[in-house]
Structure 1
Amino acid sequence: MKPYDAPMRRVFSVVYWAFIGLTCPVFFFGAVVVWLVTLPFDRRRVALHLYSSAWAVFYVHVNPLWRLRITGRERLPWHGPAVLVANHASLIDILVLFGLFRPYKWVSKQEIFKVPVIGWNMRLNDYVPLVRGSGASVRRMMEHCDRLLAAGSPVLIFPEGRRSADGSLQAFKDGAFDLAVRHHVPVYPIVVTGTGRALPKHGLVLREHVDVRVTVLPPLDPAAYGDVPSLRDATRQAVADHL
């Protein structure tokens, strides 16, 4: 590493995050317009989610340090309920997964919903808040996901529950797979690589040039596994094998 690389990355990081902070209100104004125009006929808020996807991916493509490649996107449904699960190593996983451009609903920690502009847009989209460690919040999250799946919207969940500190795959929690079994909908494992090197778990200083890859694996049918633990373990194994 050249001696000036670290200071330059810090300067670039400040400029990049400031750019996001300044442009987010502009994009949010557009989101409000899309929401108002489509509200009478777009009950699942598909148009708003796709607008939000373009908003997020814009920040990926304008960053010269990041290159994003997505494979298997065609496997994801445009219509009908499904459960999407992805490994989680970095804050920017959220940005790159928007690049799937499919009308799913996020399950995200409650703190993000409190962030000005970003959190407001998440509420407009009817994404799902979750307070980690709260049994009452987990129950509300599951009920919210039940309603979304019943209405035909896929949901996307990080089954590890939190970001990995070192990039290693953590144990999967049952919630996503309980939803899939009860609603008889497929599980789509999604593998994200490269984001942990792009941005560490602690801190906002961007790292070296990285290739970020998002891979959608073939869906798993809950009927083929019989119960939640078997489906959970098979999904985790599929992600682990690809990693």
Structure 2
Amino acid sequence: MEVCITMIPSWFGGRGADYVFHSFYYWCKWTGIHTTVYGYELTQVDDPAVVICNHQSSLDIVSMSSIWPKHCAVMMKRILAYVPFFNLGAYFSGTIFIDRFNRERAMASVDHCANEMKTRNIKLWIFPEGTRNREGGFIPFKKGAFNIAVRAQIPIIPVVFSDYRPFYSKPGKYFKNDGEVVIRALDPIPTKGLTLDDVNELSDKCRDVMLAAYKEVTAEAVKRTAVRRGEALEDKKFY
């Protein structure tokens, strides 16, 4: 309910989920997670863009709050529109819901997203993996984010979060409140002149550059965590 109240001024101002994620930045301090951000300025441009990011767990909210793009909304599965209270917060934050399991409706959602982004001059945050991946690395990307970017002829801004497993694992049933997360925004990837026939190649290109960055930021996060704990740095890998 608190999130719903926070989102009301954001809704009137047409600012997407800006207010709630700026609030989350402070609300999440209790977790003990420290974030280091590179390329923050790349996400703060005024023009519409599709922001894509790897998806690991509900802790992504902590990471997102550290690099939340200006005037940005989130794309979610339509089923989440029926979760009480959550759906109100999502509505006030300008969330765009899509039906991923009906191809005809999904393609209509692509056009709707493209039009909404241009009309409202907002960015759209999308997890292209489509589901949480707790095993490290990336699972194959779904094509929705890339279809939207190409239809709207707007750039894609990749954002990469380091692996959380040095301090958190749901399968492993542990959480340590000394986590270090390294976040990097990468240079925008243009889509002007591309068509839907180019989507597969575009998706692969984005995934490749993000995976390379993921390995680098995870290596840095592992070192930062070890330093924070006073541990030796040798043989610490999580990717």
Structure 1 length-normalised TM: 0.75
1:5-154 residue pairs with structure 2 within 5 A? 25-32=1-8, 34-35=9-10, 39=12, 42=13, 45-46=14-15, 49-64=17-32, 66-101=33-68, 102-151=70-119, 152-154=121-123
Q: CA deviation at 1:75?
A: 0.9
Report the CA distance shift for 1:205/1:110 in structure 2 as closer, same or farther (over 3 A): farther
Identity among equivalent positions (%) equals: 21
Residue 176 of structure 1 aligns to which amino acid in structure 2?
A
Residue identity matched to 1:231: L
- C-alpha distance 130-91 of structure 1, shift in aligned 2 (>3 A): farther
**2:115 counterpart SS class:** helix
Question: Number of residue pairs matched?
Answer: 210
**Structure 1 residues 194 and 187: CA distance shift in structure 2, 3 A:** same
**What is aligned with 1:182?**
151
Q: Relative to 1, partners in 2 of residues 1:81 and 1:204: Cα closer, same or farther, differing over 3 Å?
A: farther
2:173 and 2:108 map into 1 onto residues whose CA distance is: 31
* Offset of residue 92 of structure 1: 1.6
Q: Confirm or deny: 8 A CA contact 1:93 1:195 kept in the other structure.
A: no
CA distances 1:12-69 after superposition (whole Å, capped 9, x unpaired): xxxxxxxxxxxxx34533433x25xx72xx3xx21x62211122222322322x1122
Aligned AA (1:104): C
Give the whole-Å Cα distance in 2 for the aligned partners of 1:110 and 1:178.
18
Aligned to 1:171: 140
Letter in 2 for 1:69: T
Query: What letter matches 1:31 in structure 2?
Result: M
Q: Which amino acid aligns with 1:230?
A: E
C-alpha distance 195-60 of structure 1, shift in aligned 2 (>3 A): farther
> Structure 2-normalised TM-score?
0.76
170-179 vs 204-213, greater mean Cα deviation: 204-213
| Shift in CA distance, 119/208, structure 1 to aligned 2, threshold 3 Å | same
Instruction: Using the TM superposition, give the Cα deviation of residue 160 of structure 1 relative to its aligned residue in structure 2, in angstroms.
Output: 0.9
User: Structure 1 residues 228 and 54, CA, compared in 2 at 3 Å: closer, same or farther?
Assistant: same
Trace 1:194-205 onto structure 2 (pairs within 5 A): 194-201=163-170
Shift in Å at residue 204 of structure 1? 8.0
Q: Distance in 2 between matches of 1:140 and 1:205?
A: 41
RMSD: 2.6
Contact 1:198 1:206 in 2 (8 A): yes
**Residues 153 and 193 of structure 2 are in contact (CA less than 8 Å); yes or no, is this contact kept in structure 1?**
no
8 Å CA contact 1:91, 1:199 repeated in 2: no
User: 2 CA distance for matches of 1:202 and 1:129?
Assistant: 29
Q: 1:167 to 1:113 in 2, by over 3 A?
A: farther
Matched residue type, 2:4: F
CA distance in 1, matches of 2:25, 2:172: 21
Q: Which amino acid aligns with 1:119?
A: N
5+ long unaligned stretches in structure 2: 215-239
Q: Show structure 1 runs of 5+ residues with no match.
A: 1-24
Checking the alignment, whether the CA contact within 8 Å between 2:114 and 2:148 is kept in structure 1 is yes
